[in-house]
Amino acid sequence: MNTRGAGIVVQSELLSLLHNSSAAPLPVTHCRVRRYLDSAGGDGQVQPAPQQFTSWEAIYATLKAAFPADRYHMGAALSEVSLLDGKIAAEIEGHGQISADLLVCADGAQSPSRRRLLPQVRSDYAGYVAWRGVLDEADTPHELKSFFDDAFTFSEARSGGHILVYFIPGEGADPSPGKRRLNWVWYVAVEENGLNTLLMDRNGEAHHASLAQGAAPKATIDALIEHARREVHPKLAELVAATPDPFVQTIIDVIVPKTVFGRVCLLGDAAFVVRPHTAGAAAKAAYDATQLAASLKRARTQIDAGLGAFESAQLEYGKDMTDYGIALGRRFASSR
């Protein structure tokens, strides 16, 4: 796991999952207002809008602490799955064959499980990427920290797209003032034929969907900084320039026709992939997990019936979230 990670807007579905799992309180940061900046400069418009934020690191640590340590195995690859006497038989690297009533595949947006179960499903590139960065509060110039503190800040770019900024917990998921991180996301249009160049890392290796933190070549980052100086509010351009090792991901849509395959199911980004504008990917994964548990509990020994009820709810929610993200993306496109 990349502990630098990225920011998450906290939604009720995530908090409910943690509460129902008897997890410890999630480390969060807070703001009281939303600020909308003009790319030309100024302090922008402010409106009251309390919000909580967290990070992937904080969510991971909180969930992991609530899960039995002897049942959590990192780096254990799934090599083969079969149905044996009505149960799932899974070959796990280093653990041999494991028998279970259900296999839940939650292996992310580039899910190998989805590709194996739904080989006809393809991801659709949305026409733009998300550049992301995190800057330790201790390394943030005082004027930038003061400018962005206690606010969820947004700004459109001059030629389209937008950038947003908020504080998240810092190293070790510490949300204390002085220990936080500034997290920013900037949506930038990139033609599909330009992705090969953009996704070339500093060692000359081509990547499919993203470049991790520390992988982007200096020339690519320098070009991003210059682009920011031309496109976004001066304070935001200053933040981009001050951030070490920005990272980038392509924005895609993935819509699946089904999520349950006998005793195997897809969950979270392994099923639908929704655009980050929704601030709902973590919430969707939490919703999926909550619905799965509730459906199986109601079904008791009728596992297949429980999975059928789960799939119906998951498909409806996932499609609605995907449509919402696409609608927000069209709004982004129309501003270019």
pLDDT in tens, 99-142: 999 999 999 999 999 999 999 999 999 999 999 999 999 999 99
Of 181, 217, 169, nearest in space to 25 by CA:
169
The first and second tokens of residue 184, run together, are 């920013």
SS3 content of the chain, % helix, strand, coil (to 5): 40, 30, 30
Spatial CB neighbours of 207, under 8 Å, sequence gap ≥ 6: 199, 200, 201, 215
Sign of the dihedral defined by the CA atoms of residues 56, 62, 67, 69, in that order: positive
Class of 1-336 per CATH?
A: alpha beta
- Kindly give the pairing relationship between strand 103-105 and strand 264-266: parallel
Cα 253 to chain centroid distance, Å, stands at 13
Q: Over 296-324, what HEC string results?
A: HHHHCCCHHHHHHHHHHHHHHHHHHHHHH
User: How does DSSP assign 264-306, residue by residue?
Assistant: EEE-GGGS-B--GGGS-HHHHHHHHHHHHHHHHHHHTT-HHHH
For residue 3, the model assigns a pLDDT of 44
Largest CA distance in the chain: 68
- Kindly give the pairing relationship between strand 181-189 and strand 162-168: antiparallel
User: How does DSSP assign 132-147, residue by residue?
Assistant: EEEEEGGGS-HHHHHH
Per-residue pLDDT of the chain (336 residues; tens, 9 = 90+): 444 458 999 999 999 999 999 999 999 999 999 999 999 999 999 999 999 999 999 999 999 999 999 989 888 888 888 887 778 998 988 889 989 999 999 999 999 999 999 999 999 999 999 999 999 999 999 999 999 999 999 999 999 899 999 999 999 999 999 999 999 999 999 999 999 999 999 999 999 999 999 999 999 999 999 999 999 999 999 999 999 999 999 999 999 999 999 999 999 999 999 999 899 999 999 999 999 999 999 999 999 999 999 999 999 999 999 999 999 988 765 554
Residue type for 50, please? P
CB 320 within 8 A of CB 287: no
